[in-house]
Amino acid sequence: MPSRFAGRRNVIDRLVHLYRIGDLGQSYLFLGPEGSGKELTALEVARLINCPTPDACADIPNCESCLKAVTFQHPDIRWIGPAPASTGEADTTRLFAAKQEDPFHQPAWASSSEVLIGDPDRPAPLTVRSILQFLRVKPFQGTTKVAVVADAHRLRSGAANAFLKVLEEPPSDALILLLSSVRSGVLPTIQSRCQRIPFGPYTEQELAALLGELYDLDADHAATLARRGGGNARRAARLRLPLARVLSAWGQQLIQSVHEDRCGTAMLAAEALHKGVLPGGLVERINEDGGAGTPLRNSPVKELAEKRERAILLCEILHLIYSEIMGCRVRGDDWRPAQPADAPWIASLAADRSPESLLRDIGSLERVRRDIERNLNIGLVTAVLFQELSRHAREDRTTLV
């Protein structure tokens, strides 16, 4: 288990310093791409400003307050984020246990849910009203109530308006940290009440060091993941897990069949995604290889959220592979592959493709990912995707021959 939250040092130091000199603002908007450490930074700030012995706990949580903070049990620190309406205490406990185990953990439902307002009398744990209730009470153990709202661009409109009221008049002993990767998705009225702190993607070196430390990886493995993660720590962390490894192998097979114009194979894949089925042979192979994470079950998933999660992750992985093909095509000899072992395969595909057409592939993938997040039919949108990818490759073959 990681012993501490690993956030962005410069922001943590700055906010903790402002707190110590009595100059900390009341609400901040952390704005930066997905996987840029916003949440870890917010949780680390929350821990440090509530710690009674900050010198002893600077790097490792040593006191009772810090131990509660890192286990999501601190009474004065509260995290909310997108979650389905049915999310109850037990789901929340499971979520926090998983986040404690892996700070980059994201539940299957995260990418297609919204931050909900919650019931007026008995708000569910991850809703806006639950955090408003929390902020109404004086700090219980620490000095400052810290409310962390992940994916603030996913606040449903009623929820955003309810939240706006507390931003207009925040309690004096509260710190509100809103996190978002989509600036245009956060209401301007909310943005204007917050001080904005920009987050950039991790550099490859920072990311490799972070992954190595968090997951105890050897340097080569951490460096490969960091390169594939492209500055996104959440994605890089996820790529080491069995599901992503199965989807990576599957993604390679799919791209190969698309380039060989074996569209039937890709259509079967769309159907499998719709049904929540993974290729059995690949699951067995990856499970036998071992490595991080729980082995995958070789049976269909029933939950729609889980099917969506898989389809979105497959889109991300295909996006990574097409970006590699593009990199190889455009940079030629200067191209540095993310995974050297795949270099010959990538180069052979790149030879038959034009940059314009590869851009269209990448555009199709981005659109389909958004469609799946918007809850469109997985089988349908991925079938259209594979047809488009095949068509682009076919057009290149006819024009480049």
**Minimum distance, C-beta of residue 184 to Zn ion, in the bound complex (Å):** 38
Give the interface segment with Zn ion, choosing from 26-34, 43-51, 154-162, 258-266 (CB under 5 A). Answer: 43-51
Length of the chain: 401
What is the Cα–Cα distance from 78 to 72, expressed in whole angstroms?
Answer: 8
**Minimum distance, C-beta of residue 51 to Zn ion, in the bound complex (Å):** 3
Tell me if 168 sits within 8 A of 98, measured CB to CB: no
Taking CB under 5 A as the rule, does residue 66 contact Zn ion?
A: yes
Taking CB under 5 A as the rule, does residue 70 contact Zn ion?
A: no
Which amino acid appears at position 376 of this protein?
L
Whose Cβ is closer to Zn ion: residue 57's or residue 124's? Answer: 57
Whose Cβ is closer to Zn ion: residue 107's or residue 142's? Answer: 142
Give the interface segment with Zn ion, choosing from 46-54, 332-340, 342-350, 351-359 (CB under 5 A). Answer: 46-54
Tell me if 288 sits within 8 A of 242, measured CB to CB: no
Whose Cβ is closer to Zn ion: residue 53's or residue 377's? Answer: 53
Q: Which residues contact 8 (CB under 8 A, 6 or more apart)?
A: 36, 37, 40, 41, 199
Taking CB under 5 A as the rule, does residue 43 contact Zn ion?
A: no
Q: Which whole-number Å values give the CA distances from 101 to 6, 108, 132, in the listed order?
A: 13, 16, 28
Whose Cβ is closer to Zn ion: residue 52's or residue 332's? Answer: 52
**Smallest Cα–Cα separation from 34: which of 168, 173, 185, 159?**
185
Taking CB under 5 A as the rule, does residue 63 contact Zn ion?
A: yes
Q: Which whole-number Å values give the CA distances from 347 to 19, 229, 336, 343, 379, in the listed order?
A: 52, 20, 11, 6, 30
Q: Which residues contact 13 (CB under 8 A, 6 or more apart)?
A: none
Phi, psi at 334, each rounded to 5°: -85, -5
Q: Which residues contact 172 (CB under 8 A, 6 or more apart)?
A: none
**Minimum distance, C-beta of residue 186 to Zn ion, in the bound complex (Å):** 32
Size of the site for Zn ion (CB under 5 A): 4
**Minimum distance, C-beta of residue 20 to Zn ion, in the bound complex (Å):** 14
Give the interface segment with Zn ion, choosing from 33-41, 57-65, 129-137, 351-359 (CB under 5 A). Answer: 57-65
Tell me if 4 sits within 8 A of 156, measured CB to CB: no
Taking CB under 5 A as the rule, does residue 57 contact Zn ion?
A: yes
Whose Cβ is closer to Zn ion: residue 54's or residue 279's? Answer: 54
Tell me if 138 sits within 8 A of 172, measured CB to CB: no
What is the Cα–Cα distance from 258 to 394, expressed in whole angstroms?
Answer: 9
**Minimum distance, C-beta of residue 63 to Zn ion, in the bound complex (Å):** 3
**Minimum distance, C-beta of residue 54 to Zn ion, in the bound complex (Å):** 7
Whose Cβ is closer to Zn ion: residue 57's or residue 254's? Answer: 57
**Minimum distance, C-beta of residue 68 to Zn ion, in the bound complex (Å):** 9
Give the interface segment with Zn ion, choosing from 55-63, 100-108, 167-175, 333-341 (CB under 5 A). Answer: 55-63
Phi, psi at 174, each rounded to 5°: -120, 150
Q: Which residues contact 351 (CB under 8 A, 6 or more apart)?
A: none
Taking CB under 5 A as the rule, does residue 48 contact Zn ion?
A: no
Whose Cβ is closer to Zn ion: residue 15's or residue 57's? Answer: 57
What is the Cα–Cα distance from 241 to 30, expressed in whole angstroms?
Answer: 28
Taking CB under 5 A as the rule, does residue 160 contact Zn ion?
A: no
Whose Cβ is closer to Zn ion: residue 68's or residue 310's? Answer: 68
Tokens of 163: 């939240």
**Minimum distance, C-beta of residue 56 to Zn ion, in the bound complex (Å):** 7
Taking CB under 5 A as the criterion, the residue among 51, 124, 197, 314 binding Zn ion is 51
**Minimum distance, C-beta of residue 61 to Zn ion, in the bound complex (Å):** 6
364 three-class SS: helix
Interacting residues with Zn ion (CB under 5 A): 51, 57, 63, 66
